[in-house]
Amino acid sequence: MKGVVFITGASAGFGESCARRFAQDGWNLILAARRIDRLRELQQELGGEKIAYILQLDVRDYNAVKSAIDQLPTDFQAIDILLNNAGLALGLEPVQTGEVTDWETMVDTNIKGLLYCTRNILPGMIERNRGHIINLGSIAGNWPYQGGNVYGATKAFVQQFSRNLRTDILGTNIRVTNIEPGLAETEFSIVRYKGDRTKASKVYAGTDPLTADDIAEIAHWVTTLPPHVNINSVEVMPTSQAWGGLAIARKK
């Protein structure tokens, strides 16, 4: 066993693929998500309770996060890698008609949930003077697009927090990496369109998008480099995607 990886949002998408990739390489896992049934299935697939400890956890609840981490079994307490993956986008409405409840869910999950997990796991890493925090950002934190307003802002927060976190822990042997995927086919668009699979499928029509396994491979790779090497950020798109030109509104 190489160590312990704590993965949020582990019941699907990037988190699920990361769990498989790290388990393949001999890591033990703490898998956290709200959908406990899916976690149980993944746990059994990966080798059972000795390999994967599962937590039904909503990262938006600070007390629940703190309690879960404080009560981890002895064999899973020394967390070597924190993969802050839990996150989502909801809707594509412009700010003037956006749903405030959707904004709150994105802020509470993408920002607060990441903060809560980091705050409760980082002290142990500092005490052991080792660890790696991997945050799942997005190209939406770097480049705007119509309807990406609050979601993009939350991912810009993830990027800047990752940078500032590195400055706070300078002098330790702890690494921080922000992974920023572009177009990737997971449950992301199904969630964004609130279960409308027809709309979600159109997002990927005619493209060859990134997969969850692609991102898992990158997450695993950054942890395998020599300890003195820190990959600050990885911005990754499929070859079928690139930056667009600047939008111009013309008078009619």
Cβ-contact 126, 164 below 8 angstroms: no
Retrieve residue 75's tokens.
């064999």
In angstroms, the CA 41 to CA 233 distance is: 32
Helix or strand (DSSP H, E) at 68: helix 62-70
Active site members: 151
Cβ-contact 57, 8 below 8 angstroms: yes
Cβ-contact 18, 33 below 8 angstroms: no
In angstroms, the CA 161 to CA 164 distance is: 5
Amino acid residing at 251: K
Task: Give the SS3 label for residue 6.
Answer: strand
